[in-house]
Chain A
């Protein structure tokens, strides 16, 4: 493995800034790696070789001119295909958007480019971010760099596989019910879902608007924090964007890396363990809690009785909101059009286009959501689910009176085999068991690697109160400093 691809983002940025390597060399090394392994991994839907080298050249030119470079200038990044990128194909993993070239940039895309980060391309995902395995992508699944016969998690599975497989040191994902944290856990990397409203949703192709939140992936907590600070911050183009300063996550990651958690109260959530969890996952989790105690943290047990309703509430809210959001795919202004033969009416064409353009999971959710929002059912389903959300928020509030952060396994399972769960939607939904409460409450949560079970990575989830993203990073960095870094077996992608 070449030296340049195994560096952290922080190390790469330092070497580029000092002139030890050029941004073009760094970009080329990663493009070469993608060329060598992506045939097996299939993390990327589109690789932008020309654009990446051009962006890298611009960074080198700025350096040569003596300009001040940003903290991640010259570092390559993989972008989830749900994020709109001007002039670059954006499909959201769906056939209905095949061939669409967006005429504008998402706020995240713009911030990444303005920071001198080099975008290598767009990564695979479950169609419209609905799934936990990338198997719902219209373009085929991505493989896990630890074992090519297993899932890389989802929906941001292309982004997690790209970082775990050393195709990029950083990537962007989105998390609606766990789509950053679960992929990070099953590929052995770090992934953070920020407080809802911390990162702009302008230019994210909407799935469930009250839950969708973009966030960073990295191989280290510090890298993840550095990317967080680039993409977070108020944006007038998103009315749910929080008009407050970004939590000091980089400082928290540096502070945590000293490995001292004295005075930090860590709450173990009673309801997020036990039956239904793999024994190896629970063993790794218990060892992680013991490690946190060794680092000086005070461990308390907390109870969140309404968390058991998170799964049913989520699988009403997300489908309801998606059934409304996906109405925009009407074959008029962009995307696919089917059946326009001069005889079919507009309504026929819309109906045929949506039948041909959407995959089965998207259709299931549109049907469920339309039903749950329909007159006579709204109060019993969507309305009731939004109330359950309040009860989950209250559980969190009570728990955070006893603890500064809460911990749980990120996923009840290690990466399962490709094809194992596609025929059973409920078996797929259960992947989100531990990640859903923070999604519904809008609170921040990070997944950090915490060892192996059956030779596959396990994730530790660290949750904090709204706007206290820095607590997640501080505890994650302390834990990371006290544990061995996980690296996939080299022979898998040799």
Chain B
């Protein structure tokens, strides 16, 4: 993600303030505490393996910024040979 010089000036001070505020989590002694990510712990969640139709190709490609030959068109990925 590119950031303009102007944004960089604004962000630099703000990010410092935010980081020093959130760093307070380090004050809590939690070495033996397990992490939490869900109110109701669940493991190995599966759904039935049923064949369902995909979204129509035209509908999906209609959302894309650039399309060619029924495919997503992207800018060049590799640098050109010198």
Shortest distance between the CB of B25 and any CB in chain A (Å): 5
A-B contact count (CB 8 A): 169
Q: Hey, which chain A residues are within 8 Å of B47, CB to CB? A: 236-237, 239
Q: Hey, which chain A residues are within 8 Å of B75, CB to CB? A: 340, 342, 344-346, 348-349
A343 to B62, CA, bound (A): 25
When the two chains form their complex, are residues A197 and B40 in contact, meaning their CB atoms are under 8 A apart? yes
When the two chains form their complex, are residues A103 and B59 in contact, meaning their CB atoms are under 8 A apart? yes
When the two chains form their complex, are residues B38 and A312 in contact, meaning their CB atoms are under 8 A apart? no
Q: Type the 1/0 row for A340-384, where 1 means its CB is closer than 8 Å to any CB of B.
A: 101011101101101100101001101110011000000011011
Q: Residue A8 at the B interface, CB < 8 A?
A: no
Q: Residue A400 at the B interface, CB < 8 A?
A: no
Instruction: Please classify how large the interface on chain B is, using the bins under 10, 10 to 19, 20 to 34, 35 or more.
Output: 35 or more
Question: Which of B55-82 touch A at CB < 8 Å?
Answer: 55-56, 59-60, 62-66, 72, 74-77, 79
Q: Which residue of B has the minimal Cβ distance to A465?
A: B39
Which stretch, A164-172, A219-227, A283-291, A327-335, touches the partner chain B?
A327-335
CB contact between B40 and one of A102, A335, A366, A442 (< 8 Å): that residue: A442
Given A345-B75, A387-B34, CB of A100 within 8 Å of CB of B15: no
Q: Residue B17 at the A interface, CB < 8 A?
A: yes
Shortest distance between the CB of A56 and any CB in chain B (Å): 26
When the two chains form their complex, are residues B38 and A358 in contact, meaning their CB atoms are under 8 A apart? no
CB contact between A312 and one of B23, B33, B35, B74 (< 8 Å): that residue: B23
Q: Which residue of A has the minimal Cβ distance to B14?
A: A425
Q: Hey, which chain A residues are within 8 Å of B27, CB to CB? A: 309
Where chain A touches its partner, the secondary structure class is: helix
Q: Residue B21 at the A interface, CB < 8 A?
A: yes
When the two chains form their complex, are residues B35 and A390 in contact, meaning their CB atoms are under 8 A apart? yes
Shortest distance between the CB of B50 and any CB in chain A (Å): 9
When the two chains form their complex, are residues B62 and A101 in contact, meaning their CB atoms are under 8 A apart? yes
Q: Residue B51 at the A interface, CB < 8 A?
A: no
Q: Hey, which chain A residues are within 8 Å of B26, CB to CB? A: 380, 384
A2 to B11, CA, bound (A): 48
Q: Residue A386 at the B interface, CB < 8 A?
A: yes
When the two chains form their complex, are residues B7 and A363 in contact, meaning their CB atoms are under 8 A apart? yes
When the two chains form their complex, are residues A351 and B2 in contact, meaning their CB atoms are under 8 A apart? yes
Question: Which of A377-409 touch B at CB < 8 Å?
Answer: 380-381, 383-391, 393
Q: Residue A174 at the B interface, CB < 8 A?
A: no
Q: Which residue of B has the minimal Cβ distance to A443?
A: B39
Q: Hey, which chain B residues are within 8 Å of A236, CB to CB? A: 47-48
When the two chains form their complex, are residues A345 and B77 in contact, meaning their CB atoms are under 8 A apart? yes
When the two chains form their complex, are residues B79 and A345 in contact, meaning their CB atoms are under 8 A apart? yes
When the two chains form their complex, are residues B74 and A332 in contact, meaning their CB atoms are under 8 A apart? yes
When the two chains form their complex, are residues A309 and B11 in contact, meaning their CB atoms are under 8 A apart? no
Q: Hey, which chain A residues are within 8 Å of B25, CB to CB? A: 309, 312-313, 316, 381, 384-385, 388
A380 to B19, CA, bound (A): 12
Q: Hey, which chain B residues are within 8 Å of A334, CB to CB? A: 63-65
Shortest distance between the CB of B29 and any CB in chain A (Å): 10
When the two chains form their complex, are residues A368 and B18 in contact, meaning their CB atoms are under 8 A apart? yes
How many residues does chain A have at the interface if contact means C-beta atoms less than 8 Å apart? 69
Shortest distance between the CB of A320 and any CB in chain B (Å): 10
Q: Residue A336 at the B interface, CB < 8 A?
A: yes
CB contact between A315 and one of B21, B28, B34 (< 8 Å): that residue: B21
Q: Type the 1/0 row for A414-425, where 1 means its CB is closer than 8 Å to any CB of B.
A: 000000000001
A27 to B21, CA, bound (A): 47
Q: Hey, which chain B residues are within 8 Å of A195, CB to CB? A: 39-40
When the two chains form their complex, are residues A346 and B2 in contact, meaning their CB atoms are under 8 A apart? no
When the two chains form their complex, are residues A426 and B24 in contact, meaning their CB atoms are under 8 A apart? no
Q: Which residue of B has the minimal Cβ distance to A330?
A: B74
Given A332-B64, A360-B10, A391-B30, CB of A426 within 8 Å of CB of B55: no
CB contact between B17 and one of A100, A345, A360, A426 (< 8 Å): that residue: A426
Given A334-B63, A351-B1, CB of A346 within 8 Å of CB of B33: no
Q: Which residue of B has the minimal Cβ distance to A441?
A: B39
When the two chains form their complex, are residues B65 and A366 in contact, meaning their CB atoms are under 8 A apart? no
A351 to B1, CA, bound (A): 4
CB contact between B65 and one of A104, A197, A336, A467 (< 8 Å): that residue: A336
Given A333-B63, A368-B19, CB of A104 within 8 Å of CB of B55: yes
A441 to B41, CA, bound (A): 12
Q: Residue A254 at the B interface, CB < 8 A?
A: no
A349 to B2, CA, bound (A): 10
Besides the contacts A312-B21, A340-B75, A393-B39, what 8 more A-B pairs have beta carbons closer than 8 Å?
A195-B39, A331-B65, A336-B65, A345-B76, A346-B75, A351-B1, A354-B1, A371-B19
Counting from the closest, the 5 A-B pairs by CB-CB distance are A442-B39, A386-B35, A337-B65, A236-B47, A355-B2
Could you show 20 A-B contacts with beta carbons less than 8 Å apart? A103-B60, A236-B47, A315-B18, A316-B22, A333-B60, A333-B63, A351-B1, A351-B2, A352-B2, A354-B1, A355-B3, A358-B1, A360-B11, A368-B15, A368-B22, A386-B35, A387-B34, A388-B25, A389-B36, A390-B35
